[in-house]
Amino acid sequence: MATNGSQEAFGVEEVLQAMLTMRGGDSEKKKRAHEYLEGFQKSTTAWSATITILQSNAEADVKLFAATTLRGKITYDLSTQVPAPDIPAVRTQLLALLKRYAPGPKPVRVQLCVCLAILAIQMQEWKDVLPVVVSSLGDENHACILDFLRVLPEEVTEGRKITLTDEELTARTTELLEHNAPQVVQLLINYAHSSAAAATNPQLFECITSWLREVPVNEIVRSPLLNIVFSALESDTSFQAAAECISTMVRETREIDDNVETIQVLLPRVIALQPKIQKVVEEEDVESYKSLTKLFSEAGSAWAVAIARESSTFRPLVDAILECTARDKDRDVIEFTFDFWYDLKQYLVLEKYIESRMQLLDVYAKLVDILLKHLEYPESESNNEKDLFDGDREAEEKFREFRHLMGDTLKDCCEIMGVAECLTKVLNAIEIWMQKYASLVNGASVPHWQQLEAPLFSMRAMGRMVTSEENTVLPQLMPLLVQMPAHEKLSFATIMVLGRYTEWTAAHPDFLSPQFNYIVSSFDTDSKEIVRAAAMAIKYFCTDCRNLLSEQVVQLQQFYDQILDKLPQISQEEITEGVATVVSVQPKGEIYKLLKLFCDPLVQRLINKASNATDNDGKLLVADHLQLITLFAQGVVVLPPVERGQEDPAVKYWQEVFPVLSQVLVNFLDFAPICERVCRCWRFMVISHRGAMAPILPEMANQLASGFSTSKQGCFLWVTGAILREFSDDREHVGEDMTDHIYVFFETQATSVLRILSELSPQDLPDVTEDFFRLVVDGLLYYPQKFIPSSIFVPVFEAALSVLVLEQREPLSATLHYLRDVLGWGNEYSPQNFDHHLSASVTEQLRSVVKQLLSAQGETLAKRLLAGMMITFPKDCFADASGALLTLFEIFPDQTATWVDGTLRLLPERTVTPVEIDRLMLKVREKLNTNDTGDVRQIRSILQDFTNTYRRRYIAPRDGLGALEGSRFRFDG
C-alpha cells in the first residue's frame, strides 16, 4: 500500500491477480489483496490501468471495480493528479467508454455516467454538457442518456464538495441544472413519444423523478409528461417507477398555498386510482400494493393541511388510505400509512379545524377497529402455541415492531376521538370475547385468545393518553383485567397494562389491592417473561402508589426478601428500585430503621457472595448484587435535607455499611466490574446525599486514592469528580477548610494519573485517559482559581496534547472538551460566568496564565488538532476539534494563521498542492481581516471543508504520519 505519497507497483496484471485472490477462501491472502487494491485505487497508476481494464475483455465484476475506481479518482484526485490541460482528454475517454458500455452491463454504465457527472461538476469551463453528451452517445443509446440525466442532479445536489468553493458550486449548479431543465423536459417528452416501449420504460420515470427536485412541479404537471406518467400505471413494467414519480410530484406540492392549481390537477387523478387497490390485492401483487399505498399516503401527508381545511373535497383520498390499511391482511403496507394518520391528526386537533375533525371522526373510529384486528397474534398453522410464527423469526420480529408502531397510531386516534371512545372499543372487544368464549376456557386452554390479547395490548398503548381523571370506562375495565384467564400471553399483557396505569390507580386507591395482589401472585409462574413483566410492574406500582403502600412497607420487605433470589438480575434491579421509592417517602424518623430492615439482608448476601467468589462468574454475581445496594443509596434520600450539624439518618446507615463496601473493594481490586460497582455506589451516595456525606468523605478519599494507585482503574476518578462537583467553592453547605482538603485530594489524584501517563502511553489506558480528562474538566470548572495557577496545570495540558494522537472517540472527546474549556479561559469572556465568586482581577490573572500557556503550546495544539481532523480523529470529534481551533483563532488570530499554514506545509507530498494551501490561507486571512465575529466563525467551516476533503484523499493515514506524528508525554512530578 502507498505510504505518504510513495507508489507501489500497480500493473494491470497484478490488479487482476488481486481481484482473483479476493474470490478465494484464504483470509490472509484476501486481506493482503484488499490492502493492495486500496493502495491501487489511490495511486496515480490507477488512471491508465482502469481505462485499460475497461477497454479489455475482462469479466464484468472486474470492469465494475475499474469503473468504481475511476469514479473515486475523478471525485478525489482530479485536481491533484491530473494536470489541467489533460482534463479534456479524460472527458474524451469517458465519453468513448460510455458509448462502448451503452448496451451494458448496466452497473458499469451507471458508474461511468456518475464519473461523467462528477467530471462535469468540476470542469467549470465545460458549458455545453448536455448537448455534448447527447450528441456523443447518439440517438440509439437512449438507456445511457437516461442514466446520465438521472444521476446528474443527484451528483450535483447530493455529491460531495471536492475542490469547488461554495460560490463555484452554486454557479455550477445553476449552469448544470437550472439552465438545462427546459431542454431536459423536452428531451424526455420527445423520448416518451418515440415509441410505446419508451412510454413505459421505468428509466424514463426514474429520470423525471430525479429532475423533479430541479424542475418546478407545475411545469411537469402542465406538460404532456403528466399523462404519460399516469398512463404508465396501466403497465406492470412501469407501475412502480411511475407510482414513485407521482409520489415525488405530490411531495413537491407540500407548500399548499403555493401549489393550489397543481393540487387541483393532481387530486382527481390520484383519487381515480382507488379502484386499483382492490385489483392489486386480489392479484396478490404485493410490490404494486406497496407502491400504491405509498402514493396515497404521500399525497395525504403532503396535503394534510388541505384535508383539514376542506375535508369533504379530500375525503375520497382519506378513504383510499383507509382502504389500503383495511385490506392489508398480511401487514405488508400498513406501515406506509402511519405517518399520514399522525400528520393529519396534528392539524385536526387544532381548534380552527374542529369542523373537519367532526367530519372525519368516523374514519378514525374505523381505523381503531382495523388496528385492533391487525394487532391480533396469528393463529399457528401447526397448533403450536409456543411458536405462533412457525419458526419464522423475521416475521415475528416484524410483527412485534409493527404492534408498537400501530400503538402510536392508536394514540393519534385517541387525540381525535377522545380517550373514552377508544377505551370503550377496548371494553366492547373484551366483553364480546367474554360472552362468546369465557365459558369455554379450560385452565391454560383459551379459545381465540388472540381476540382478547389485542385489545389488552391496545389499552396498554393508549396508556399515555389516559389521565388520572378518567372515571367512565376504566372503572368498568379494571375489574375485568384481574379476571383474565391464566394464559401466558394474556397474563403478560394484563400485567403490562396494570403497570402502565399505575398513575390512574394511585388516584383510584380502591382498585389498588386487587391489582397489586394480581401482580404479586404472578411471581409464582414458571414463565420468565411474566416474571420480568411483574417485576417491572412492581416498580411502577411502588413509584406511583408509594404513599398508598406506606402502611404495607414491612410486608413489602418480607415479599421483597422472599422473591429476590428467584429473579433475574434485571428484575432484581427493577423491584429494588420500586421498594426503595416506597422507603424514601417514609417519615424521617423511620428511614434509618427501614434501611436496616431492607438493606441488612442485602449486605449479608453481599458478604456471602464475596466470600464464595472464587471465579469470574462468582465475582460477577458480587458486582451485580452491589447494584441493588446502590439503588437504595441513590433512591432513599432525606428531603428536605437535615439542618447543618444534624445527623442524616440515611447517611448514618451508609456510614455503618461503608467498611463492608471498602473491604469488598480491597479484596477485589484486580477485578474491574466490582471496583466499578463500588465506585458507582459511592458516586451516587455523594450525588444524592451531597453535603450530608461529609462524615464519610475522609475515609472515602483514602480508599479512592489507594484504590487508583493500586489498580489504575478510571472508576476511582468518577467518584473524585462527583466529590469535586458537590463540595466546590460555590456550594452554600461547604466550608473553606473542606474545599481546600478536597482540592488537595483532586491534585493528588491528578498527579497520580500524570505519573501513569508518563510511564504508559494513552493508547494503553484509553479508559483511564477518558475518565481523567472528565475529572480535570470538573477541576477547571469548580476550582479554576486553584487549578490554573497550580504546578500541575501545564503538565495536564501537555498530557492532553499527547492524547490527541489517539483514534478512539471517548478519550478524544473528553480531552477535546477539556482543551476547549482551557481555551475558553484565554478568551475575552471566562467560561461559565464565574464572576459571582471570582473578582475581575483574579479572572484576569487566570486568563493571563492561560494565554501564556497557549502562546508557548499553541503551535503544537494547532498541529495536533489539524492532524487529527485530517487523518486520525473519528468523525464525532470533528466539531470539538474545529471549535477548539476557532477559539485559538479568536485568542491569537495572526499567530494561529501562521501555525495552521506551517502545519499544512508539513503534509506529505502529492496529498495537497501548495496552490490549495495558499487558496485556503487566503480565505482564512480574509475572514480574520474583516474584524467581524461572524466572519471569523466562518473559519471553522472553511477548515472543516478542507480537512474533510483532505481526509478523503489522503493516501495512507495509518502507515505513519511523518512530520505530523505526535510526541510522547513526559511528567517529572
Question: 713-722 pLDDT, tens per residue?
Answer: 999 999 999 9
Instruction: Report the C-alpha gap between 741 and 853 in whole angstroms.
Output: 27
Nearest Cα residue to 547 out of 515, 505, 485: 505
Q: What is the pLDDT of residue 207?
A: 93
Q: Taking 50 as the threshold, does the pLDDT of residue 24 lie above it?
A: yes
Q: What is the pLDDT of residue 164?
A: 72
Instruction: Report the C-alpha gap between 78 and 72 in whole angstroms.
Output: 9
Over residues 105-114, the mean pLDDT reads 92
Highest mean pLDDT among 56-60, 332-336, 676-680: 676-680
Question: 389-412 pLDDT, tens per residue?
Answer: 777 788 888 888 888 889 999 999
Give the residue carrying C-alpha cell 391528526.
345
Nearest Cα residue to 474 out of 451, 499, 508: 508
Q: Taking 70 as the threshold, does the pLDDT of residue 189 lie above it?
A: yes
Q: Taking 70 as the threshold, does the pLDDT of residue 973 lie above it?
A: no
DSSP 451-510: HHHHHHHHHHHGGGG--TT--SSHHHHHHHHTT--S-HHHHHHHHHHHHHTHHHHHH-GG
Q: Taking 50 as the threshold, does the pLDDT of residue 1 lie above it?
A: no
Question: 286-331 pLDDT, tens per residue?
Answer: 999 999 999 999 999 999 999 999 999 999 999 999 999 999 988 8
Instruction: Report the C-alpha gap between 368 and 358 in whole angstroms.
Output: 16
Question: 755-791 pLDDT, tens per residue?
Answer: 998 888 878 888 899 999 999 999 998 899 999 999 9
Q: Taking 80 as the threshold, does the pLDDT of residue 500 lie above it?
A: yes
Identify which has the larger pLDDT, 833 or 362. 362
Over residues 266-285, the mean pLDDT reads 95
Over residues 260-273, the mean pLDDT reads 95
Q: What is the pLDDT of residue 730?
A: 56
The dihedrals phi and psi of 952, each to the nearest 5 degrees, come to -70, -30
Residue 956: pLDDT band with limits 50, 70, 90: very low
Q: Taking 80 as the threshold, does the pLDDT of residue 502 lie above it?
A: yes
Over residues 114-121, the mean pLDDT reads 92
Mean pLDDT over each residue of the chain, to the nearest integer: 89
Residue 535: pLDDT band with limits 50, 70, 90: very high
Question: 190-244 pLDDT, tens per residue?
Answer: 999 988 998 999 999 999 999 998 888 999 999 999 999 999 999 999 999 999 9
Over residues 941-970, the mean pLDDT reads 59
Quick one: cell of 749? 489524584
Nearest Cα residue to 290 out of 243, 234, 242: 243
Identify which has the larger pLDDT, 834 or 752. 752
Exposure string of 400-434, with b = 16+ CB inside 10 Å and e = fewer, is eebbeebbebbbbbbbbbebebbbbbbbebbeebe
Residue 460: pLDDT band with limits 50, 70, 90: very high
Quick one: cell of 241? 417507477
The one-letter code for the residue type at 821 is D
Q: Which residues contact 63 (CB under 8 A, 6 or more apart)?
A: 53, 54, 105, 108
Give the residue carrying C-alpha cell 453481599.
606
The one-letter code for the residue type at 354 is I
Cα distances (angstroms) measured from residue 575 to each of 567, 570, 630, 684, 946: 9, 9, 13, 19, 54
Over residues 458-475, the mean pLDDT reads 94
Instruction: Report the C-alpha gap between 900 and 902 in whole angstroms.
Output: 5
Nearest Cα residue to 812 out of 601, 966, 628: 966
Residue 859: pLDDT band with limits 50, 70, 90: very high
Q: Taking 50 as the threshold, does the pLDDT of residue 437 lie above it?
A: yes
Q: Taking 80 as the threshold, does the pLDDT of residue 572 lie above it?
A: yes
Q: What is the pLDDT of residue 644?
A: 76
Over residues 272-287, the mean pLDDT reads 94
Over residues 176-197, the mean pLDDT reads 90
Instruction: Report the C-alpha gap between 242 and 840 in whole angstroms.
Output: 69
Q: What is the pLDDT of residue 963?
A: 44
Q: Quick one: 481 exposed, middle or buried, by C-beta within 10 A (0-12, 13-18, 19+)? A: buried
Give the residue carrying C-alpha cell 460531495.
160
Beta bridge partners of 442: 445
Q: What is the pLDDT of residue 3?
A: 37
Q: Taking 80 as the threshold, does the pLDDT of residue 8 lie above it?
A: no
Q: Do the Cβ atoms of 907 and 964 come closer than 8 Å?
A: yes
- Could you write out the three-class secondary structure of 927-970? HHCCCCHHHHHHHHHHHHHHHHHHHHHCCCCCCCCHHHCCCCCC
Q: What is the pLDDT of residue 875?
A: 85
Q: Taking 60 as the threshold, does the pLDDT of residue 712 lie above it?
A: yes
Over residues 889-895, the mean pLDDT reads 91
Q: Do the Cβ atoms of 457 and 410 come closer than 8 Å?
A: no
Instruction: Report the C-alpha gap between 413 and 864 in whole angstroms.
Output: 55
Helix (H) or strand (E) holding 80: helix 78-81
Q: What is the pLDDT of residue 82?
A: 84
Beta bridge partners of 445: 442
Exposure string of 672-696, with b = 16+ CB inside 10 Å and e = fewer, is bbbbbbbbbbbbbbbbbbbbbbbeb
Over residues 257-271, the mean pLDDT reads 95
Q: Taking 90 as the threshold, does the pLDDT of residue 682 lie above it?
A: yes
Nearest Cα residue to 888 out of 828, 826, 829: 826
Q: Which residues contact 530 (CB under 8 A, 6 or more apart)?
A: 488, 491, 492, 495, 522
Residue 254: pLDDT band with limits 50, 70, 90: very high
Identify which has the larger pLDDT, 936 or 312. 312
Instruction: Report the C-alpha gap between 272 and 253 in whole angstroms.
Output: 19
Instruction: Report the C-alpha gap between 292 and 244 in whole angstroms.
Output: 9
Over residues 931-957, the mean pLDDT reads 72
Over residues 484-510, the mean pLDDT reads 95
Q: Do the Cβ atoms of 811 and 817 come closer than 8 Å?
A: no
Identify which has the larger pLDDT, 147 or 964. 147
Upper half-sphere CA count for residue 271 (Cβ side, 13 Å): 14
In which region does residue 962 sit, left (phi positive, over 0), alpha (psi from -120 to 50) or beta (all else)?
A: left
Identify which has the larger pLDDT, 764 or 431. 431
Q: Quick one: 344 exposed, middle or buried, by C-beta within 10 A (0-12, 13-18, 19+)? A: buried
Q: Taking 50 as the threshold, does the pLDDT of residue 6 lie above it?
A: no
Instruction: Report the C-alpha gap between 115 and 111 in whole angstroms.
Output: 6
What percent of the chain is modeled with pLDDT above 70? Answer: 93
Residue 954: pLDDT band with limits 50, 70, 90: low
Q: Do the Cβ atoms of 474 and 423 come closer than 8 Å?
A: yes
Over residues 604-608, the mean pLDDT reads 97
Q: What is the pLDDT of residue 968?
A: 57
Q: Taking 80 as the threshold, does the pLDDT of residue 463 lie above it?
A: yes
Question: 622-668 pLDDT, tens per residue?
Answer: 999 999 999 999 999 998 888 877 889 999 999 999 999 999 999 99
